[in-house]
Amino acid sequence: MIDIGVNLTNKRFDKDLVEVIDRAKSANIEAMLVTGTCLAESEAALALCQSNPDFLYSTAGIHPHDADHAAQNFIEQLQRLANHKSVKAIGECGLDFNRNFSTPENQKRVFAAQVELAAKLQMPLFLHQRDAFEDWYGILQPYLDSVPGMVSHCFTANEQELKQCLDAGMYIGITGWVCDKKRGQALRDIIKYIPLDRLMIETDAPYLTPQNIRPKPKSSRNEPSYLPYIVEKIAEVSTYTTDDIVKASTKNAKRVFRLDE
């Protein structure tokens, strides 16, 4: 299995990061992508990867929450980071009009610049979208044929938006949201529409701890070793076996993020 989205630089992992990584390996996870959400976090993600280069990879990007604070030369800095072998995608980037921690104008400006960078560097995009689908898709649409892969990370949108993403050739990242008893039903209802060759799996740790873990963990912190519970839930609500999901999502992640290069 490959966890395509984990926030290992989050302070909740400071005390036991080595153990967290060891538990991930014991859970048959063969690689993880550490998410970059701003310049500082992207730098930290890369540094972490360089300490474990055969297991950890990273993304470099600016999350919409951080768009208001993007440095003037953020594209130059992201391009510098992207030159490193461990950095496999531009992102996490996109739009989030649910919380608007940054203004919509700045979100769109910073996102559009990162999409253009991904096309220029021929790197995949690790994408965020919440309550902003129309504007988000509008920025991506001119680049659908020029960016070598787009991954809709932590997908929580509706059936129509899912089908639009699939028609555009995007990959769909499924997190522990699918295991959420209250919030996850809409996602569980549409999982069946995701073809195996477009499916990826991720924990988004330390967030979105799968609710189907038994016995329930003492800590609310999610971690990569819980990825199998997401696989189990996807299998439960689809026609795919756990083996199908593991094999296909691993193959997809290796191809899109060029993990064997």
Whether 188 has a pLDDT exceeding 90, the answer reads yes
Give just the sign of the alpha carbon dihedral 94, 95, 101, 104: positive
Residue-wise pLDDT tens digits, 48-57: 999 999 999 9
Helix (H) or strand (E) holding 96, with range, is strand 87-96
**Can you tell me the mean pLDDT for 191-199?**
98
What is the CATH superfamily name and number for domain 2-256? Metal-dependent hydrolases (3.20.20.140)
157 is written with which tokens?
């949108």
What confidence tens digit (pLDDT) does each residue in 89-138 have?
Answer: 999 999 999 989 999 999 999 999 999 999 999 999 999 999 999 999 99
All residues at 6 or more sequence positions from 215 whose CB lies less than 8 Å from its CB, including other chains:
none
Q: Mean pLDDT score of the chain, rounded to an integer?
A: 97
pLDDT at 206: 98
Q: Note the pTM of the prediction, 2 decimals.
A: 0.96
Q: Express as a percent the part of the chain with pLDDT over 90.
A: 98
Query: How far are the Cα atoms of 10, 109, 159, 166, 169 from residue 101, in angstroms, in the given order?
Result: 19, 15, 27, 28, 29
**pLDDT for residue 167:** 98
pLDDT surpassing 80 at residue 159: yes
Q: Are strands 56-60 and 31-34 parallel, antiparallel or unpaired?
A: parallel
Q: What is the pLDDT at residue 16?
A: 96
Kind of pairing, strands 125-130 and 199-201? unpaired
**Region 212-225 average pLDDT:** 95
DSSP assignment string, 107-133? HHHHHHHHHHHHHHHT--EEEEEES-H
Q: What is the mean pLDDT of residues 149-171?
A: 97
The pLDDT, as a whole number, for residue 99 is 86
Given a cut of 90, whether residue 190 has pLDDT beyond it is yes
What is the β-pairing status of strands 2-6 and 31-34? parallel
Q: Residue 84: pLDDT above 90? A: yes
Q: Is the pLDDT of residue 45 over 80?
A: yes
Confidence of residue 261 (pLDDT cuts 50, 70, 90): confident
Question: Which pLDDT value is given to residue 260?
Answer: 85
Q: Indicate whether 153 pLDDT > 90.
A: yes
